[in-house]
């Protein structure tokens, strides 16, 4: 029964493909269409639900209700928002490059959807299993920088162009730590195939625990660094400077409205889902449960449970952390994140070649190799940027503000 539930969608796909109605030559094409259709249904639907969950979560954090009028408990709010975007007027600046302006949101969404093709969502549930799956993921994801530049430049708006340049600088800066933190997993597994990376974590520790990479010192450090870089790549708080409304009027999509704006919104959330799925695959065992005795729960359910947990983490960050300054963001990328990811590569190598050592000694040495640079780089960065201090306005500040407003 457990195996039947686990392979439910795989069996359904094979049942459709085995119909005698289909010619043999068309079955590979039909298989691709079924996989593409599933991705186009599941993740946009998850995007709609995620927007409602995020607004409700932020409402609770900020002591308010969030959406509660449209549909049961407000969960049809995303349908109302989607209809509003469809019928809203599409305004294009007179001097804009109309072709590039139109293509920019499509160039953002299409590569993100392609990235979902190589993620393994369960046992035997990878739409495309290629040897260079991780390389393919990063290659198609690199197109997002192009779409951001297209949106900012084609709008013929200085605020849009400034927002695009700032977004590209941030995305390139944090893409390096994102890729290098993934390199440790490739080194240890010896493969770029995401399916093989998950299977490599199926080995057991202590006889009952799956060998997730996050349970090692290099894996834990790599996961934290990957998560921080992924947050910046997804333009999520506290790295949401590309969309800083109070500074540059919504950044690179200032001149977008209607369904084009909705596509940018969709692309950002899909990018967050994709990079979260990659983090789950690389460090959290993919579709594997943490304990071996939980094998009876379907593998695809484990993957999406982890994905929802990651979504909850991003919502929590947005509701609690303030936005960074530009100088803090860039200094953090180049003076902390990049050196720490390079050091973690060395730590992974030490962990691999010290397999004959006692486990406690192995852990202690590798942990010290990570903790010491963390403290040194952290103190050096803090001495240059300083801590952000919050205080309430006193009477002198109020009087000064009134004088300036007169």
Contacts (Cβ under 8 Å, ≥6 apart) of 208: 291, 292, 293
Instruction: Tally Cβ neighbours within 10 Å of residue 327.
Output: 10
Task: Supply the pLDDT for residue 137.
Answer: 94
Residue 204, H or E segment: strand 204-205
Q: According to the model, what pLDDT value does residue 89 have? A: 86
**Structure-token match 């991780």, residue found:** 134
Residues 381 and 332 sit within 8 Å (Cβ to Cβ): yes
Q: Which residues of the chain have pLDDT under 70?
A: 206-207, 244-250, 385-406
pLDDT at res. 302? 94
Contact 191, 131 (CB under 8 A): yes
Integer CA distances (angstroms), 204 to 190, 201, 211, in order: 19, 8, 5
Q: Render pLDDT for 247-302 as a digit per residue (tens, 0 to 9).
A: 656 678 888 888 888 898 899 899 999 999 999 999 999 999 988 888 888 999 99
- pLDDT value for 355: 83
Both tokens assigned to 167:
């977004």
CA angle, corner 134, sides to 131 and 137, nearest 5? 120
Cα–Cα distance, 34 to 302 (Å, whole number)? 22
And the tokens for 380?
């050096």
Measure CA 406 to chain center: 46
pLDDT at 175: 92
Which helix (H) or strand (E) segment is 209 a member of?
strand 209-210
Contact 118, 128 (CB under 8 A): yes
Three-state DSSP state, 281: helix
Give residue 174's pLDDT: 94
Write b or e for each residue in 59-79: b if 16 or more Cβ atoms lie within 10 A of its Cβ, otherwise e: beeeeeebbeeeeeebbebbe
């Amino acid at each position: 029964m457990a195996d039947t539930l686990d392979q439910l969608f795989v069996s359904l796909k094979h049942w459709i493909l085995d119909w005698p109605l289909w010619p043999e030559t068309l079955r590979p094409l039909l298989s691709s269409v079924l996989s593409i259709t599933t991705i186009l249904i599941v993740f946009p639907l998850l995007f709609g639900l995620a927007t409602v969950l995020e607004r409700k979560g932020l409402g609770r954090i900020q002591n308010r209700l969030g959406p509660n009028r449209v549909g049961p408990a407000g969960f049809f709010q995303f349908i109302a928002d989607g209809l509003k975007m469809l019928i809203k007027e599409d305004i294009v600046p007179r001097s804009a490059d109309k072709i590039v302006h139109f293509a920019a949101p499509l160039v953002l969404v299409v590569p993100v959807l392609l990235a979902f093709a190589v993620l393994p969502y369960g046992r035997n549930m990878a739409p495309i299993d290629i040897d260079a799956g991780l390389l393919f993921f990063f290659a198609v994801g690199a197109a997002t920088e192009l779409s951001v530049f297209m949106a900012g430049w084609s709008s013929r708006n200085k605020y849009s162009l400034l927002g695009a340049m700032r977004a590209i600088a941030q995305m390139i800066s944090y893409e390096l730590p994102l890729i290098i933190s993934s390199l440790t997993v490739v080194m240890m597994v010896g493969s770029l195939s995401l399916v093989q990376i998950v299977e490599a974590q199926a080995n057991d520790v202590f006889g009952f625990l799956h060998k997730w990479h996050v349970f090692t010192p290099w894996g834990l450090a790599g996961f934290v660094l990957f998560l921080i870089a992924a947050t910046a790549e997804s333009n999520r708080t506290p790295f949401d400077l590309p969309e800083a409304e109070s500074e540059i009027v919504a950044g690179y999509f200032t001149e977008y409205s209607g369904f084009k704006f909705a596509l940018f919104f969709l692309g950002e959330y899909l990018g967050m889902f994709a990079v979260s799925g990659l983090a789950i695959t690389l460090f959290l065992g993919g579709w594997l449960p943490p304990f071996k005795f939980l094998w009876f729960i379907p593998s695809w359910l484990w993957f999406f449970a982890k994905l929802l947990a990651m979504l909850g983490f991003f919502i929590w960050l947005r509701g609690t952390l303030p936005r960074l300054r530009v100088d803090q963001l860039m200094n953090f990328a180049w003076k902390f994140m990049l050196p720490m990811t390079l050091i973690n590569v060395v730590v992974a190598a030490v962990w691999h070649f010290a397999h004959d050592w006692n486990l406690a000694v192995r852990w202690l040495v590798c942990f010290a190799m990570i903790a010491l640079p963390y403290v040194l780089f952290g103190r050096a960065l803090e001495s240059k940027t300083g801590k952000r201090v919050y205080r309430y306005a006193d009477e002198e500040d109020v009087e000064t503000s009134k004088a300036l407003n007169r």
